[in-house]
């Protein structure tokens, strides 16, 4: 159906600074087709990153959530209209764990000519079961948007709730408290902000978290504790991203502290702040953050790829997947493995003492492109040493990239990613694997019926 836009005026004055979209029912797509993208920054070994980026970026968190109340994993992704089209659609769907089926995916928002997956969305579910979709903007040129489902645990229709300057959305719902929302503004580089809302409709004023020239952030929560982990961009240059910082709050942002309890004054502006986890700048290293999780005692564990060069190719080697674990009053660094690209993004899982990583650590068909073959790694000593358990994908026609961890991941839908040719425009398909990594399914690229079963490919 066509979206109907409503703007409210009184005496020629716009009452609210955004459009409200009233959707009787959102349109659906006839299959799961991912957006293909090229950054267009080429060097000797190709583009800085390109390929199937429907589950991009690592800074859109979360993009999938398991809802035990209805036994469904809801997810959002960057879709498109056809395999040879680069037209971004913000999509939402779910996997039904009882019927083992997916419906036709729903178009929450048509980006109307934008082809950039930086505009992908994050997803959240509130205490009443309503689905929220936080669509990323880009700088000040394209605003971000927030949508809410019309009914609990339903994806049939969405209403636009808010529009504003917000990129890299990271919404977190706290029971009986509301939303804690981390995001980025391009104020003086990519600076970090947060806001809160009891209901998603009324939002507190934005507050700056950090501004050292620019940052990329990942986040996670445990109980009442919200943790933000970020790097910094010297001189605002994202190609010089380095260092790792961590700060946490247990009172929805009223106070922020270091990992060992030192109170911080915001916004952070000193690169040598007590929130510094590791000074990679002093080592001449670059930092690509992937994920943050918690050990059995609630201590933070960070996953990052550490590199020697922002450009693709062997000059950046070794690109080390690295664990940084706060334990015994200090940060402990452990190497997991190496891979071939800075944007080989995976996720860290810690459950009941089981530590594992799922990500494209293995060389794929486009050797120097982003992504590759997905593997499962496991540690039995809290991240000190790692062993590859198995290759989840093999002999793929296209690189697999951005393997994402659903919030409260169900063992049957444990990691979610897209594929795509990193060297040239191609179709992009979506996959998920189970907890053991021994079975993998592809979502239907074409659909004639309203529901379909994903095809098992392994």
Residue 66 lies in a domain: yes
Average pLDDT over the chain, rounded to an integer: 94
User: Is residue 9 scored above 70 in pLDDT?
Assistant: no
How many contiguous H segments (helices) and E segments (strands) does the chain have? 0, 39
Residue 12 lies in a domain: no
The CA distance from 351 to 66, in Å, is 15
Check residue 458 and give its pLDDT.
Answer: 81
Q: What is the tally of structural domains in the chain?
A: 1
Check residue 43 and give its pLDDT.
Answer: 96
Q: What is the largest CA-CA distance in the chain?
A: 68
Residue among 304, 321, 313 at smallest CA distance from 341: 313
**Confidence band, pLDDT 50/70/90 cuts, at residue 113:** confident
Residue 158 lies in a domain: yes
Check residue 84 and give its pLDDT.
Answer: 83
**Confidence band, pLDDT 50/70/90 cuts, at residue 24:** low
Q: What is the pLDDT of residues 297-326, one digit of tens each?
A: 999 999 999 999 999 999 999 999 999 999
Q: What is the pLDDT of residues 344-384, one digit of tens each?
A: 999 999 998 899 999 999 999 999 999 999 999 999 999 99
Residue 11 lies in a domain: no
Scan for tokens 């009233």, then name that residue: 22
Q: What is the pLDDT of residues 57-88, one digit of tens each?
A: 999 999 999 999 999 999 999 999 988 889 99
Distance of CA 35 to the CA centre of its chain: 15
**Confidence band, pLDDT 50/70/90 cuts, at residue 140:** confident
**Region of poorest pLDDT, from 8-22, 242-256, 257-271:** 8-22
In this prediction, what percent of the chain has a pLDDT beyond 90?
92
Contacts of 386 (CB under 8 A, 6+ apart): 334, 335, 336, 337, 357, 377, 378, 379
Read off φ and ψ for residue 291, nearest 5 degrees: -165, 165
In this prediction, what percent of the chain has a pLDDT beyond 70?
95
Residue 13 lies in a domain: no
Looking up residue 127, the CATH number of its domain turns out to be 2.130.10.120
Q: What is the pLDDT of residues 287-297, one digit of tens each?
A: 999 999 999 99
Residue 113's domain spans which residues? 21-456
23-27 long-range Cβ contacts below 8 angstroms, 24+ apart: 23/150, 23/157, 23/158, 23/159, 24/157, 25/1, 25/156, 25/157, 26/1, 26/106, 26/107, 26/108, 26/155, 26/156, 26/157, 26/158, 27/1, 27/106, 27/107
Check residue 406 and give its pLDDT.
Answer: 98
The CA distance from 320 to 304, in Å, is 8
The CA distance from 426 to 36, in Å, is 7
Three-state SS at 350 = strand
Distance of CA 34 to the CA centre of its chain: 15
* Number of residues that this document lists for the chain: 458
**Confidence band, pLDDT 50/70/90 cuts, at residue 139:** confident
The CA distance from 214 to 408, in Å, is 30
User: Is residue 7 scored above 60 in pLDDT?
Assistant: no
Q: What is the pLDDT of residues 237-254, one digit of tens each?
A: 999 999 999 999 999 999
Average pLDDT over residues 1-23: 36
Residue 3 lies in a domain: no
Q: What is the pLDDT of residues 197-237, one digit of tens each?
A: 999 999 999 999 999 999 999 999 999 999 999 999 999 99
Cβ-based burial of 242 (10 A; exposed 0-12, middle 13-18, buried ≥19): buried
Residue 434 lies in a domain: yes
Residue 376 lies in a domain: yes
């Amino acid at each position: 159906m066509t979206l109907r836009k409503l703007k409210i005026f009184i005496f020629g004055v716009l009452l609210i600074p955004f459009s409200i979209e009233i959707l009787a029912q959102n349109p659906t797509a006839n299959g799961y087709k991912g957006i293909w993208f090229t950054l267009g920054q080429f060097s000797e070994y190709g583009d800085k990153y390109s390929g199937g980026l429907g589950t991009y970026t690592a800074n859109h968190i979360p993009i999938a959530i398991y809802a035990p109340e209805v036994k469904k994993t809801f997810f959002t992704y960057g879709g498109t209209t056809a395999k040879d089209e680069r037209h971004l659609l913000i999509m939402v769907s779910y996997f039904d764990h009882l019927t083992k089926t997916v419906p036709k995916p729903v178009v929450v928002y048509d980006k109307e000519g934008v082809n950039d997956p930086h505009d992908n969305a994050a997803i959240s579910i509130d205490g009443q079961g309503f689905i929220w979709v936080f669509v990323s903007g880009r700088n000040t040129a394209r605003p971000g948007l927030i949508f809410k489902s019309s009914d609990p645990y339903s994806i049939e229709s969405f209403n636009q709730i808010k529009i504003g300057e917000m990129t890299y959305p990271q919404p977190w719902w706290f029971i009986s408290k509301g939303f804690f929302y981390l995001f980025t503004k391009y104020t003086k580089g990519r600076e970090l902000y947060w806001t809160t809302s009891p209901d998603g409709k009324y939002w507190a004023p934005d507050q700056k978290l950090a501004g050292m020239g620019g940052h990329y952030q990942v986040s996670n929560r445990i109980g009442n504790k919200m943790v933000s982990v970020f790097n910094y961009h010297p001189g605002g240059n994202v190609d010089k991203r380095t260092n790792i910082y961590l700060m946490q709050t247990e009172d929805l942002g009223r106070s922020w502290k270091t990992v060992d309890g030192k109170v911080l004054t915001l916004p952070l502006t000193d690169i040598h702040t007590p929130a510094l986890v590791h000074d990679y700048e002093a080592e001449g290293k670059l930092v690509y953050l992937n994920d943050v999780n918690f050990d059995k005692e609630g201590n933070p564990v960070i996953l990052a790829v550490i590199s020697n060069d922002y450009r693709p190719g062997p000059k950046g080697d070794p690109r080390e997947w690295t664990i940084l674990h706060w334990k015994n009053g200090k940060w402990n660094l452990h190497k997991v493995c190496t891979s071939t690209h800075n944007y080989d993004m995976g996720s860290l899982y810690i459950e009941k003492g089981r530590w594992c990583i799922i990500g494209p650590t293995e060389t794929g068909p486009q050797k120097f492109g982003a992504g590759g073959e997905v593997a499962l790694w496991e540690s039995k000593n809290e991240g000190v040493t790692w062993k590859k358990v198995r290759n989840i994908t093999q002999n793929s026609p296209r690189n697999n990239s951005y393997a994402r961890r659903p919030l409260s991941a169900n063992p049957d839908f444990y990691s979610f990613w897209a594929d795509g040719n990193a060297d040239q425009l191609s179709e992009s398909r979506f996959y998920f694997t189970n907890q053991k990594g021994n079975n993998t399914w592809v979502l239907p690229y074409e659909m004639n019926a309203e529901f379909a079963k994903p095809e098992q490919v392994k």
